[in-house]
């Protein structure tokens, strides 16, 4: 069984819908994604096959569309991207950014390579200038994992995205639950445990803490680089003290992330 098929089986989508398996032409993403030459070459080189695996719409499942001034969500697509060789993280980013840009509707991308899969999601809101277009709020990725032999955080992720645990109140809620489950993988690597925000306020707090941790990490890296170039001993000591202070701040924020929602 392919990794993508194993993922679909784990989340239970086949019990609600029949698979479509509609092949998609890579050229449509060249034209609609506004790709540069190098990006086109990456897609052409790495992708063996793309197909629309499942299409959730009002006519296929009992979930209501969500239409507002910010969001226009009338369905969710599950796309399988079969790769022909081992990709770098940058190459995966090139591919999923192109696909998410080209398709205005919410998409759950399932990359499949050598028994492993990687899930990519992106929340999109309406473009206030051009109402026919959308703006990507952020792309989230799980990283590679074996669906049938998932480690701790991925076991928790697979449980979170089982369709019986996802809200069916609207397509926006449905997709948002999956998107946040994907994003929680990144947070788990920082905080040490897998947790999904239970409210909008908690979600915003976790995002702010994560951004602050990333900022502190960047400052620490800059100081470590500066120490290697510094010749004066007293200045090296000052920078080392500053690095230790940054590390303490990061640990405090990580503990905050780990205890939120308890």
User: What's the rounded mean pLDDT across residues 143-152?
Assistant: 85
User: What is the crossing angle of helices 37-46 and 89-102, to 10°?
Assistant: 100
Contact (CB, 8 A) for 186 and 211: no
**Spatial distance between the Cα atoms of 58 and 75, rounded to a whole number of angstroms:** 7
User: What's the rounded mean pLDDT across residues 186-215?
Assistant: 84
CA atoms within 13 A on the CB side of 132: 0
Q: Which of 64-68, 146-150, 237-241, 250-254 has the lowest mean pLDDT?
A: 146-150
Instruction: Please tell me the pTM assigned to this model.
Output: 0.86
Instruction: Report whether pLDDT(157) > 60.
Output: yes
Q: What is the pLDDT of residue 217?
A: 92
Burial class (CB in 10 A: 0-12, 13-18, 19+), 262: exposed
Instruction: Report whether pLDDT(39) > 90.
Output: no
Burial class (CB in 10 A: 0-12, 13-18, 19+), 74: middle
**Spatial distance between the Cα atoms of 85 and 94, rounded to a whole number of angstroms:** 15
E strand map for the chain = 22-23, 47-57, 66-67, 72-73, 75-83, 107-113, 116-126, 134-141
Beta-sheet pairing, 47-57 with 75-83: antiparallel
Q: What is the pLDDT of residue 262?
A: 54
Q: What is the pLDDT of residue 149?
A: 80
Paired residues of 118 in beta bridges: 111
User: What is the crossing angle of helices 152-160 and 3-11, to 10°?
Assistant: 60
Burial class (CB in 10 A: 0-12, 13-18, 19+), 120: buried
User: What's the rounded mean pLDDT across residues 205-232?
Assistant: 90
**Spatial distance between the Cα atoms of 80 and 117, rounded to a whole number of angstroms:** 10
**Spatial distance between the Cα atoms of 210 and 218, rounded to a whole number of angstroms:** 12
More confident residue, 261 or 181: 181
Beta-sheet pairing, 22-23 with 47-57: antiparallel
Nearest partner of 135 among 144, 124, 150, 122, judged by Cα? 124
**Spatial distance between the Cα atoms of 75 and 182, rounded to a whole number of angstroms:** 19
Distances in Å between the Cα of 140 and the Cα atoms of 13, 55, 96, 124, 178 are 21, 20, 10, 12, 10
**Spatial distance between the Cα atoms of 137 and 10, rounded to a whole number of angstroms:** 27
**Spatial distance between the Cα atoms of 251 and 191, rounded to a whole number of angstroms:** 9
Contact (CB, 8 A) for 79 and 51: yes
């Amino acid at each position: 069984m392919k990794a993508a098929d194993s993922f679909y089986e784990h989340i239970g989508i086949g019990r609600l819908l029949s698979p479509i398996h509609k092949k998609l032409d890579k050229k449509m993403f060249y034209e609609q994604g506004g790709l540069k030459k190098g990006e086109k070459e990456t897609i052409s080189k790495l992708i063996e096959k793309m197909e629309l695996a499942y299409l959730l719409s009002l006519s296929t499942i009992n979930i209501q569309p969500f239409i507002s001034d910010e969001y226009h969500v009338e369905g969710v697509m599950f796309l399988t991207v079969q790769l022909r060789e081992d990709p770098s993280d940058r190459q995966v980013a090139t591919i999923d950014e192109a696909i998410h840009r080209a398709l205005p509707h919410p998409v759950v991308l399932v990359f499949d390579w050598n028994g492993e899969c990687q899930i990519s999601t992106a929340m999109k809101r309406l473009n206030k200038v051009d109402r026919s277009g959308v703006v990507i709020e952020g792309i989230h990725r799980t990283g590679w994992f074996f669906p049938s032999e998932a480690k701790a955080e991925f076991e928790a992720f697979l449980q979170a995205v089982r369709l019986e645990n996802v809200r069916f109140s609207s397509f926006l809620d449905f997709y948002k639950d999956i998107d946040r489950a994907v994003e929680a993988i990144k947070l788990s690597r920082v905080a040490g445990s897998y947790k999904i925000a239970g409210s909008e306020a908690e979600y915003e707090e976790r995002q702010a803490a994560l951004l602050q941790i990333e900022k502190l990490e960047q400052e620490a890296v800059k100081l470590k680089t500066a120490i290697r170039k510094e010749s004066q001993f007293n200045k090296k000591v000052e920078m080392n003290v500053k690095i230790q202070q940054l590390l303490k701040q990061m640990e405090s924020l990580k503990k905050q992330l780990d205890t939120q929602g308890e």
